[in-house]
Every structure is written in C-alpha cells, then in structure tokens.
Structure 1
Amino acid sequence: MSTHPTPQKSDLVRIAVITGSTRPNRRSRLVAEWAQAKAAAVLGDRADVTVVDIADFALPLLDEPVAAAVGEYTHEHTKRWAHTIGEFDGFVFVTPEYNHSMPAALKNAIDFLYAEWNDKAAGFVSYGLDGGVRAVEALRLTLAEVKIACVRSGVGLSLSADFDLDNITEPGTVSPGPRADAVFDRMIDEVLAWSTALRPLRIGARP
C-alpha cells in the first residue's frame, strides 16, 4: 500500500495538449486526442492532461497594439487565450508540417502571449510525410524566445506508417507503431519532470 497521499487536482501538474492546426478536415485534433489519452494513461494521477484546441479560440491574425512581452492585452480573445494558457505547467504541441515549418495558426497563437508561456516545459508530437520534424525544429526556436524549455524527446508520426489512410485527403485514423509509443512514453515523462522542476520559478515570478 502506498504511503503517499493522493494528490489534489489543484496540486497536480497540468499539461495542455495543444492542437497546431485550424485547417478544416485536419488531423491535428485526432492526433491531440490520441496524445491526451496516452499521456493520461502513462502519467495516471501524477498530472492532469487536457486538450486545448486553438481552433476553439478563433484568434485573428495578431491584432494587439503592443508587444506581448509588455503584458498589456486589450482584446477579449487575447485575455481568454492568456487565461487558458496561464493555467498550465507544461505543454505537448501537436503540429503538422506545412512547407517545412509549423502552421501559421500555431505561430500566431504563440505570438499573442509571453508571460503565460514563461518557465514551462514542452514536448512535441509532429506528423507529416517525413514525420513533421522540420516543423518541430522551427517550433523549438520560437518557444525558446518565450522561455519554454523544450524536452529532447519528440514523437514524429509518418503519414505512411502511423496512420490508417484510405484517402490522403481525409484525416484517417491514428495508429502509431511500437516505436512511436515508446518514444511518447519517454517524452511525456520528460515533460512532467521538467514542468515540476520549473515550478519554483513560476511561483517566484508571481506578484
């Protein structure tokens, strides 16, 4: 029998699985739901894992009059997005690869905020013809500037090997192989460990 008390939800590390695409007929939501279910199974009662779909926020092309680092958000859509992201300790970004980079909608969503990203950790699940690896490399550069610590391990899903597709124009179903499953387990453990380790910095930054 464990001698450790069951964590209260408010004490749990909170991890958001963020969809990286808003395109109609996208695969991003399907992959995010797979990642959320797998993360919840791996982490159990050590963390609370939630899908955050950027499509639900209907963010326009960045329209704040001052830079996000100033912290003076004026629009309600920005404040809603900031409140949501501010609630989390770590992230798993689910991104396809568009023209050797991340989708514009994901870059735009990141650019809206600054402090809400700071001193948190992130892992990646990417997908595409080549596993989406170039999207992740671009994403790592962007996240470094908003002070997110990116873990080393990342899952790259191949459209030919990790999805069941009858038609390339349709989303299909996510069916990763054993290697992707093993890498995901390692990645999500790293996200939890780093999110926990960075928590004192986030608490110290509060007014």
Structure 2
Amino acid sequence: MPDRILVFYGSYRRDRMGIRLADFIVAGLSARGAEVELIDAKALALPMLDRMYKEYPSGSAPQALEELAKKIKAADAFVFVTGEYNWGMQPGLKNLTDHFLEEWFWRPAAVASYSAGRIAGARAAVAWHGTLSEMGMIVVSSNLAVGLIAETLDEQAKPLGDAGLALERAFPRFADDLTWWLAAAKLQRAHKDPPY
C-alpha cells in the first residue's frame, strides 16, 4: 500500500506563487510512489475558526470538515507549504490547521517555505515547527526554503535556472527525511497503540 501524504497550502492571494511549490512537491512525492493529495485552503473556504471539528456533535460538522478530518486521519504524513506574512504564518493555512487537533497526532510533518524575496519564508517555517509539534506531529528537521519563487519555478511548477536546480538537489533529502519518519511512525502505530 502506498504512503498517503497530504500537502497543505494556504495562500488566499489572487496572484499566489506558492502554489507552484505545492505542485512541485506533490509531483515529486508522487514520482517516488506515494499517494499524494493537495489540500488547498482557499479551495476549501473554511470559515474562520469558531468550533474545532471535535467540538461538533458527532455527524453534525460541516461537510468540508467531515471530509477533511477523514483524509487527515487516513494520512501517513503531512507537508505544510507556507509563505511568510510580516514575519509570521499565512492566516489561511493556520486557520485550516487549527480546526483539528487529535486528527494530526503521531504522524510526521515537513515544512516547505517560500517568498518573493531572498528570505524564503524562513521565519514562518520556524513558527510552524513549534505549532505543528504542539499539535502532536513529529516535525522533521529537513526544510525546503525557496526564495525568489517566481525565478525558481514556472507556472507549471517546473524548475527554472540555477535556483530551480538548487531546489531539485534539495528535494530528495527533504523527501527522504519525511518518508523515513513516516515509515517509523507507521511501524510504531502498528506495533503499539499511541499512549493518548
């Protein structure tokens, strides 16, 4: 059975560029044999957090939350693709993530960040590490950080020039780190029930 990986992307901007990185990651993980799905916060259009999924009586959560909860629970690992807004997280991606808690537990997560400038979303990536860890995920140490996103990937998520080559060289370590922890967590969950 292939590894099931969800790739989360959260920009709501009209001319969003980070979708290129999300598509690149989906293609790269799929090429390695994983079953990968892109979860686009803008397409889901979840409301601002009022109630977490678990706070709804059973069977009464909005359909989008019910469907996403099932996908998260069935996944083996997650990738969070994030831009950086004023040194912080994208609100759309954070809002999506906060609708859930126990659904995330005991699975690895990786962070890929980007920006239009040279900082490559690094400050948002740091913020995501602590948040995802608090939400019960094993956050892998390898990050993808893409600065000058428009000069790194074209509209079809194909690498461009030297920056694209650097991204192609960095991706295998990122994917290897995530899939190593995915295999370890899957084996442990099969061997022993999580403690909570």
Q: Which TM-score band applies after superposition, normalised by the shorter structure?
A: 0.7 to 0.9
Q: C-alpha separation between the residues in 1 aligned to 2:186 and 2:123? A: 29
SS of match in other structure, 1:122: strand
How is 1:14-25 mapped onto 2 (pairs within 5 angstroms)? 14-25=4-15
- Once the two structures are overlaid, the 10-residue window that deviates more, 151-160 or 75-84, is 75-84
Find the counterpart in structure 2 of residue 103 from structure 1. 90
**Match of residue 127, structure 2, among 133, 138, 142:** 138
Change (3 A) 1:13 1:177: same
Shift of residue 174 of structure 1?
A: 5.5
Q: Does the Cα contact within 8 Å between 1:153 and 1:183 map onto a contact in 2?
A: no
Distance 1:104 1:120 in 2: 23
Question: Counterpart of 1:177 in 2: which secondary structure?
Answer: helix
The correspondence of residues 61-72 of structure 1 with structure 2, limited to 5 A, is 61-64=48-51, 71-72=54-55
- After superposition, residues 103-122 of structure 1 pair within 5 angstroms as 103-122=90-109
SS at 1:99 equivalent: coil
- Which residue among 21, 28, 39 is the counterpart of 1:31? 21
Task: For 2:122, give the aligned amino acid.
Answer: V
CA distance in 1, matches of 2:84, 2:159: 16
Contact 2:159 2:167 in 1 (8 A): no
Q: TM-score, normalised by structure 1?
A: 0.79
| Larger CA deviation: 16-25 vs 173-182 | 173-182
Give the superposition deviation at 1:116: 1.1
SS of the aligned residue for 2:25 comes to: helix
Structural RMSD (CA): 2.7
Shift in alpha-carbon separation, 1:24–1:173, aligned structure 2, 3 A = farther
Structure 1 stretches lacking a partner, 5+ long: 1-10
- C-alpha spacing 1:143/1:132, structure 2 compared with 1 (3 Å): same
For each residue in 1:174-193, what CA deviation from the matched residue of structure 2 results, as whole angstroms up to 9, or x when unmatched? 53433222221101111111
Length-normalised TM-score, structure 2: 0.83
| 1:127 has 2:114 as partner | yes
CA contact (8 A) 2:5 2:78 kept: yes
Aligned to 2:169: 182
Q: Aligned equivalents of 2:150 and 2:19: distance in 1? A: 19
For 1:95, the aligned partner's letter is: T
Identity among equivalent pairs (%): 33
The DSSP-based 3-state class of the residue aligned with 2:124 is: helix
Unaligned runs of 5+ in 2: none
- 1:178 counterpart letter in structure 2: L
